[in-house]
Amino acid sequence: MSVPEKFTLIVDGEETTVDTGTTGAQLFFDRRDVVVMRVGGVLKDLDTELSEGVSVESVTIDSEDGLNVLRHSTAHVMAQAVQQLRPDAKLGIGPYIKDGFYFDFDVAEPFTPEDLKTLEKMMQKIVNSNQKFARRVVTEEEAREAMANEPYKLELLGKKDGAEEAGEGASIEVGAGEITIYDNVDRKSGDVVWCDLCRGPHLPNTKLISNAFALTRSSAAYWLGDQKNQQLQRIYGTAWPTKDALKAYQERLAEAERRDHRKLGTELDLFSFPDELGSGLPVFHPKGGIIRKAMEDYSRQRHTEAGYEFVYTPHITKGHLYEVSGHLDWYRDGMFPPMHVDEVTDPETGAVIKPGQDYYLKPMNCPMHNLIFRSRGRSYRELPLRLFEFGSVYRYEKSGVIHGLTRVRGMTQDDAHIYCTREQMKDELTSTLQFVLDLLKDYGLDDFYLELSTKDPEKYVGSDDVWEEATRTLAEVAEASGLDLVPDPGGAAFYGPKISVQARDAIGRTWQMSTIQLDFNLPERFELEYQAADGTRQRPVMIHRALFGSVERFMAVLTEHYAGAFPAWLAPVQVVGIPVAEAFNDYMFDVVDKLKAHGIRAQVDTGTDRFPKKIRTASKDKIPFVLIAGGDDADAGAVSFRFRDGSQDNGVPVEEAVKRIVEAVRNRDK
C-alpha cells in the first residue's frame, strides 16, 4: 500500500503538513465551529481540496463571514420549503443581509403569516434531515438545462458578465468566473432533492443551521430592485449560531419596536403625518414643537459661541442655480419636478411673448450660501467665514423608502458652510469635528465612530489631484480624533469626500449623524474669490457641515434613544404637580408658580381622575419630575418627588425642590 504524498500549507498563520487530497473539512475536522474557509483570501466551501503552499484561514460560524454564509444557506433551505409548499413558485434571488436574509419568489398569491409559520416547520424538518450542500461547476448550457423551469435564473445567466451592475443581489448568483449550482443532497439516499444557481459558499450541511432561525415578515419587491420589473413576493428571515443568540436578537427587535419614534410620536402627541399633506411631510404638535425649539435654541446658542453667522435663504430657486452647482446633472432624480412659471402669452394668438422659467424646490442650501459669499468682495481677514442656517429643503424620496421622521420629503437641515483658505482648512476641519462631537454629546449621544466616504469613480466633478488632496486631509483629521475610522468607498457626494459621524444609541444601533465634506469644486463652479494678503485673488476652500443631518431625523433618533423619556431640559412638560386631594390645589399652584418663574415648563393636574390614575398618566407621559403634596407636605412647606423609575424622595423643602429641578434642567442632566 502506497504512502500518501504530503505537502505544506499555511493554516491560520502556521505552517502545516497534510496529505495530498486534503480538504478543508478534513483539515478542520476537530473544529465544529469552522463552517467555511478563506483560501488565498477567497471564501471557499470546506469540501474544497487544498493545494500546496496556499494560505488557509478558518472562518467560524459566529464571525461576520460565517454569519453571512449561515444566513445565505438558511435562505436556500427556506426556498426549498417554499417550493414544497407552493410548487408553482419561481425563484428570484436570496442573499444574506444585515442580521438575516431574504428570498424573492414569483407566486400567484402573497404569503400570509400562517404561511410563514408553516414554512418554519418545513424548514426545521429540512434542517434536521442533515442535507448536504454540494457545489457543482457547470457550463452555461448545463445551468440552463438545470434551471429550465426558473425564468428569473435564466435571465441571470444572460447577465453573468455584468452581474455587479445587473441589479439588487444578482452578484450572489452569478459572476466572477465559474457558473456553479448548489445541490441539496439527501444524506441517506444521496439523491439531489433541490438545487439553485448560486456562487456560494455554503455550510457543509443543513444541521449546522440548528433551530436558531426565524422568518420575520413578507413584503412585495421588484425583480432586481427595479420598479419597471415584475413585482415578486419577498420573505425575510434571520439566523444565528445559537438559539440564545436568536432570542437576544428578537429581544433587541422588540425593544426597538417599543422605541419606534412613530409609535411614541403618537402616544406622546409630538408629531403626525396627515394624509392631506402628502407622503413624507410631517407636522409637529405643540409638545413636539417644544422639544424641537429646545433643540434648535441650544444649537443656535452653541453656534453663536463658536463664531457662526446666521443666514436665511428661500425655499425655491430658478433652475439655473442648480445647473451651475451641478445638482441638476447629478442629483435630478432626488429633486422634485420643476414648476414652470412667469410665461407670458398673447391672449389672442397664444404665442409666447415672454418665456417662462423652471423653478425648483431646493434640495440643498449650499448653492445659495455661495451666492451670499459672492455678493460682495471678500478679504482673507474675513476667513474662516462660517455661515449657518436652519434651512428647509425638499427631496423627492421614493415612496418605498419614506419612513417616519428618519426619511422625509420636507426637512430642516442645520446646515453650515465654512469658507477658509487652504492653509486654514485642516485646523478648521479639526475644530469643526470636535464642535460636532461635543454638541452631540450635549444631546446625550456619546458613542461614536467615523466613516470616510471617498470618490465615486462614476459620479464626481473636478480633478483627481484635488480629490486626492481633499481625501487625504479628511483622513488625517479623522485619524487624529482618536475615533475608529471605517472606509466607505464610493460614498462621497459628487463635489467632495466626507467624514460621517456614526453614533450608537442606547440599544446599540448605529445612526449616521453629522457629515463634514471638504469641497474644492463648488468654489470653482461659482467662481468664489477672496483677496489674499499679497493682493492676489484666491479661491476659498468650502466645508459643508450638517450637524443633526436634519432636525426631523435627529428628533427621531433622540426619541428612540431615550424611548420617549427625554431628559428634563428637552421634555415638553418638565414637572407635573399632583395634589393628593383638591384641598391642596392652591398649595401646588404656588409651587408650580415658583418653578415657572425660573422658566421651568410645569403644570398642575387638577383633573377629575383619582390620585393613582394621575400618577399613572404622568408615568405614561414620561414626565421627568412629578411633585406630590398632601397635608404633611403642606404643613412642612415641602413636596415629595416621584421619579420615572418609580422611586420617591419625600418631604423635600419647596426651595430645595425648585433648586434641584432648575439645576437639572440648566445642567442638561440626562
Residues classed as catalytic: 366, 395, 413, 415, 417, 498, 544
Q: Kindly report the CA angle at 234 between 230 and 235, in degrees rounded to 5?
A: 165
Q: Quick check: bond before 201 cis, omega within 30?
A: yes
Query: Residue 182 forms beta bridges with which residues?
Result: 135, 196
Reported for 342-351, long-range contacts at CB under 8 A and 24+ positions apart, including other chains, are none
CA 363 to each of CA 160, 331, 368, 412, 525: distance values in angstroms, whole numbers, following the listed order: 37, 9, 11, 10, 18
d(CA 306, CA 442): 15
Alpha helices by DSSP H, 520-610:
521-525, 551-561, 585-597
Residue 89 cell numbers, joined = 413558485
Length of the chain measured in residues: 670
Strand ranges inside 311-367, DSSP E: 316-318, 339-341, 344-345, 352-354, 357-361
Q: Which of 83, 78, 84, 104 is nearest to 93 (CA)?
A: 104
Collapsing DSSP to helix, strand or coil, 365 comes out as: coil
CB-based burial of residue 399 (10 Å sphere; 0-12 exposed, 13-18 middle, 19+ buried)? exposed
The SS3 of residue 275 is coil
In one-letter notation, the amino acid at residue 624 is P
**What is the enclosing helix (H) or strand (E) of 176?**
none
Whether the Cβ atoms of residue 514 and residue 501 lie closer than 8 Å to each other: yes
3-state secondary structure 122-152: HHHHHHHCCCEEEEEEECHHHHHHHCCCCHH
| Amino acid in position 245 | A
Alpha-carbon 542 to chain mean position: 26
Q: Kind and range of the H or E element at 173?
A: none
Compute the distance between CA of residue 582 and CA of residue 586 in angstroms, rounded to an integer: 8
First-to-last alpha carbon distance for the chain, in angstroms, is: 76
DSSP 208-266: GGTT-EEEEEEEEEEGGG-TTS-EEEEEEEEE-SSHHHHHHHHHHHHHHHHT-HHHHHH
